[in-house]
Amino acid sequence: METQKLIKTAHDLVAGDKGILAMDESSPTIKKRFAQYNIPETEEARRSYRELIITTPGLSEFISGFILFDETIRQKKKDGTPFIKTIIDAGIIPGIKVDTGAKDMALQSGEKITEGLDGLRERLAEYAQMGARFAKWRAVITIGNGIPGNACIEANALTLARYAALCQEAGLVPIVEPEILMDGNHSLDTCFVETEKVLRAVFRHLCIQGILLEGMILKPNMVVPGLICPIQETVDEVADETVKCLLRAVPAAVPGITFLSGGQSSELASARLNAMNKRFKGRLPWGLSFSYGRAIQQPALEIWKGQDANVPEAQMALLHQSRCNRDARRGQYNSEMETSKM
């Protein structure tokens, strides 16, 4: 294992109060996002949109790494420059989503298992050769009637650990993402219990598989109430419970925790991250950062609408959301920043 290289990449991903921008939506997922704004679902539209993101001037001040999709890592700018070269030249670390999606789990009604281990060693070798330095795999856990059960938790935790081992063998830092979905009416307390259970299982399996904890990143959900739960705790309560849960389950050797946004609004995702850093920074073993997809991209996508003329304004929005989250890492974000953009 290239221990020093893994440790350096993992640290670089959370250094300087920067965070990760997830732009690895699969083609079916980006189709859904585009459909909201009647953007055509073509390879050229996806290419143009991703070119908009990676060419945003100044993004490297706030963003340490991009998570790309297989199609994207192979694409080029309109002028023929490979995306991967553009990204590296901008001082941003390229990463790649390597799972092939969450599928219905056999015999476990309502539960999902993420696939993609077959042929992964060969795919990772190709991505590493192309210049990728980290990877991402997302496990999906649903809270519902009697779920998640042990079968789902154990299978997903083992799969995440096998993926992480293959990544580290290939010299890529694994982003380990066990996502507990926000859908449903469950309480924050239920989310806490299930998040702790899942994280404990994930780290048990990571240790069994011999993962170098210093050379990985954890990408968890925050501890939040279900979207339609009648009781919605305050930003500070979410911050306190999330940190309490992570302190119980995440080893101190892990250099960084980069949250997913999971469908939270951009403002809430920044405010909650801000509260955690404001209240706990300097007292935690790991950095608390972001690896947001929707919470960074949504305003930019809404402005772009597939029109070339809207690119500069969309890039300003992307830069703004990225800056907000960098400031949230410093505990210096406030919601007034949303009205006084740049």
Residues with catalytic roles:
177, 219
Whose Cβ is closer to ligand 13P: residue 260's or residue 311's? 260
From the list 34-42, 231-239, 292-300, 309-317, the region that binds ligand 13P by CB under 6 A is 292-300
Whose Cβ is closer to ligand 13P: residue 80's or residue 152's? 152
Binding pattern to ligand 13P, positions 143-182, x when CB under 6 A?
A: ----------------------------------x-----
What is the number of H-type helices and E-type strands within the chain? 12, 10
Total residue length of the chain: 342
User: What distance lies between CA 146 and its chain's CA centroid?
Assistant: 27
Q: Which residue is nearest to ligand 13P (CB)?
A: 293
Distances (CA, A) of 298 to 23, 129, 280, 294: 11, 31, 28, 5
From the list 1-9, 158-166, 243-251, 291-299, the region that binds ligand 13P by CB under 6 A is 291-299
User: What distance lies between CA 27 and its chain's CA centroid?
Assistant: 17
Whose Cβ is closer to ligand 13P: residue 138's or residue 205's? 138
Tell which one of 260, 300, 301, 314 touches ligand 13P (CB under 6 A): 260
Asked whether position 34 contacts ligand 13P by CB under 6 A, the answer is: no
- Kindly state the tokens that stand for 213: 């904890």
Residue 181 DSSP one-character state = P
On the question of a cis peptide bond just before residue 28, with omega within 30 degrees of 0, the verdict is no
Least distance CB 52 / ligand 13P (angstroms) = 17
Which amino acid is located at 102 in the chain? A
- Cα separation, 111 vs 152, in Å, equals 7
From the list 87-95, 125-133, 235-243, 254-262, the region that binds ligand 13P by CB under 6 A is 254-262
Asked whether position 111 contacts ligand 13P by CB under 6 A, the answer is: no
Asked whether position 294 contacts ligand 13P by CB under 6 A, the answer is: yes
Whose Cβ is closer to ligand 13P: residue 32's or residue 341's? 32
Beta pairing partners, 258 = 289
Asked whether position 293 contacts ligand 13P by CB under 6 A, the answer is: yes
Least distance CB 229 / ligand 13P (angstroms) = 19
Least distance CB 146 / ligand 13P (angstroms) = 25
Whose Cβ is closer to ligand 13P: residue 37's or residue 85's? 37
Whose Cβ is closer to ligand 13P: residue 178's or residue 331's? 178
Find all residues with CB under 8 Å of 244, minimum gap 6, and list them: 192, 223
Exposure on the CB side of residue 26, measured as CA atoms within 13 A: 11
Asked whether position 22 contacts ligand 13P by CB under 6 A, the answer is: yes
- Cα separation, 263 vs 261, in Å, equals 6
Tell which one of 49, 66, 83, 292 touches ligand 13P (CB under 6 A): 292
Exposure on the CB side of residue 38, measured as CA atoms within 13 A: 1
- Kindly state the tokens that stand for 312: 């500069």
Q: Which residue has the tokens 């939040």?
A: 224
Secondary element (H or E) of residue 65: strand 63-68
Asked whether position 295 contacts ligand 13P by CB under 6 A, the answer is: yes
Whose Cβ is closer to ligand 13P: residue 5's or residue 116's? 116
- Kindly state the tokens that stand for 93: 């670390």
Asked whether position 272 contacts ligand 13P by CB under 6 A, the answer is: no
- Residues found near ligand 13P in the complex (CB under 6 A): 22, 138, 177, 260-262, 292-295
